[in-house]
Structure 1
Amino acid sequence: MREGASDVQGQIARLMIYPVKSCAGVAVSEAVLLETGLQWDRHWMVVDAEGLFVSQRECARMALIRPQIEADALLLQAPGMPELRVPLQASGPALRVQVWDDVVDALDMGPEAAQWLQAFLGAPAQRLLRFDPAARRACSTKWTDGVPASTQFSDGYPVLVTTDSAMDELNTRLAAMGHPAVGMDRFRPNVVLSGLLPHDEDHLGPLEVWDSGAAVAGLQLVKPCARCPIPNIDPATAESHPGVGDALQAYRQDARVSGAITFGMNAIVTHGAGAVLRVGQAVQADYTFG
């Protein structure tokens, strides 16, 4: 495939990682693309006393925890709390924990991290876990046409892709309903594309990423991202209001996922693991309807 010889051309407008599942995201100018997604994305997770993952669905205050990746540590900050640093390569007791229907191997980050989480979040949060680097969590092949893929603590697939024009469309509808504009951070994507029509990602085939005239990576958009109430939560305050969900209900029901409200597409990495994705790189794909 030649650069520019596709139905759709655009650019990477924004890259985001979410080091701790369901905590605040980090905007980055570049990120290493791994088979499991962007490096450090959903690499840590909070679990309850039974080892089940905790998210903003149960504990909206998670939105107020702001992670950063330092040279050798995960830094966590939250209002009224001292900073917490956890070594990036920390090891600890191995635990079996549950994320949705999957039970996976993880490493306990210790009592200091546990006490920090409990002090800020309360009872739901018991431990901070790191994905065991020796483990593999397979994605469901139901949506990948049998192509094997893996992820860490994401909901199910390595990368979430959407478009800035989709956000503009939603904010136009929110304004018409008398609601204030909201930010893309409510939808927690990894890759935000510009130069595309709203929700073009819903109907695209393989997405190629180009750099300096060469194709460097490929993503296959495999499953619409069905939305729970988290987009109703204001990341700045952790307060919830149904306006976003109400607006989406009017135009974003997707028959492919039994009429669920969707925003963005889950993707798997088809080639280019180890490549560096950068804001500004060109992307292209062909439409696939059917």
Structure 2
Amino acid sequence: MLRVSKLFVYPIKSLGGVELTSAKVTDRGFEHDRRWMLVDGANRFLSQREFAQMALLRVNILADGLLVSHLTSADQLLIPFVPQTNQTGQFTVWDDTCMGQYVSAKADEWFSRMLGATCRLVYMPDDSQRIVDPEAKYVASRKITSFSDAYPFLLLGQASMDDLNARLPEQIPLNRFRANLVFAGGEPYQEDTMAHFKIGGVDFFGSKLCARCNIPTINQDTGLAAKEPTRTLALYRRNNNKVYLGQNLVHAGEGLVTVGDAIELIETKEMLNSLRLLP
């Protein structure tokens, strides 16, 4: 039996995640997930890929907004759920451009000081509709997402993490991989083959495997990067010069997902031959 074992949201793109016991599924993913984002002077998104120190900024969800703190200092910032400006703009996430709203001058100053680089905080309002996979390479029907890299959800099996850690010289924590849904039970890398499953009243569909960037090499407690786990993953999870772990998902319906919920597997698909488990 597959069951939900952990749930995470990342309210501000590329900052620390928030572990939840229950998460509300909205039209564009879990509630609050990547609805905020830091951008540079050209309105392009910032991430740990260029600013590894973003890992040291942690987020808590309070009743009146987001509380952001720095892991190694006493600096904190409360961000109300409603932006404090009426100023909007067009913002870029990879090849996508979507509408957003600037949050506040106070937030801009605080984050610029924390990162040592000029940046601004923006929010995605409900009327901003960013289409998933607009060329329909992996998703046939119209879906939307937030400021995520490309998809509303990332699925990862605990068995996959256990298998990876058994191959590594030193174990690494789950937070390197920024999953939304983690499940227990099943076989390592079973998420690769999960084409359609249900949790409660919500249908989830596996769209494409997640090609990993350098973020899994960044220690989320220090902001320092190393060669693992990418070096090890490349030995057995490599295809077309990319390494893969986890599967991107889209969904149909809204509802509540809770740790411990059963996962009803409805349809599977083939795993890439190059990613099949080695002895």
1:281 aligned residue = 261
**What residue in structure 2 maps to residue 83 of structure 1?**
76
Corresponding residue number in structure 1 for 2:64: 72
Task: Say yes or no: does 1:231 pair with 2:220.
Answer: no
Match of residue 248, structure 2, among 240, 254, 266 = 266
In the alignment, what sits opposite 1:200? 190
Is 1:133 aligned to 2:126, yes or no?
A: yes
RMSD of Structure 2 on Structure 1 (CA): 1.2
Q: Aligned-pair distance for 1:205?
A: 2.0
Sequence identity of aligned pairs in percent? 32
Unaligned runs of 5+ in 1: 1-8, 211-215
Displacement after TM superposition at 1:81 (Å): 4.5
Hey, what's the Cα distance between the residues in 2 that align with 1:222 and 1:119? 38
* 1:82 CA displacement: 2.3
Cα distance per residue 1:147-176 (max 9 Å; x no partner): 1111010000101001001100110000xx
Amino acid of the residue matched to residue 211 of structure 2? A
5 Å-filtered alignment, 1:1-290, equals 9-78=1-70, 79-92=72-85, 93-123=87-117, 125-140=118-133, 141-144=136-139, 146-174=140-168, 179-210=169-200, 216-254=201-239, 258-270=240-252, 272-273=253-254, 275-285=255-265, 286-289=267-270
TM-score between the two structures when normalised by the length of structure 2? 0.92
Distance in 2 between residues matched to 1:65 and 1:261, nearest whole Å? 27
Distance in 1 between residues matched to 2:195 and 2:212, nearest whole Å: 22
CA distances 1:221-277 after superposition (whole Å, capped 9, x unpaired) = 1011000111000001000000211011001113xxx3410110000012x31x010
SS of residue matched to 2:99: strand
Q: How far apart, in 2, do the equivalents of 1:38 and 1:80 lie?
A: 29
Provide the rounded CA distance (Å) in 2 between the counterparts of 1:262 and 1:91: 39
Greater shift after overlay, 100-109 or 86-95?
86-95
* TM-score normalised by L of structure 1: 0.89
Q: Give 1:184's aligned amino acid.
A: L
Supply the distance in 2 between the matched residues of 1:29 and 1:135 (Cα, whole angstroms): 28
Instruction: Provide the C-alpha distance between the structure 2 equivalents of 1:249 and 1:38, rounded to a whole number of angstroms.
Output: 30
User: 1-side partners of 2:126 and 2:61: how far apart?
Assistant: 17
Q: Which runs of 5+ in 2 are unaligned?
A: 272-279
Q: Per the alignment, in what secondary structure is the counterpart of residue 195 of structure 2?
A: coil
Provide closer, same or farther for how the CA distance between residues 167 and 181 of structure 1 changes in structure 2, counting only shifts above 3 A: same
C-alpha deviation, 1:35, in angstroms: 2.0
Runs of 4+ in 1 over 4 A off after TM superposition: none
Measured after TM superposition, the shift of residue 69 of structure 1 is: 1.0
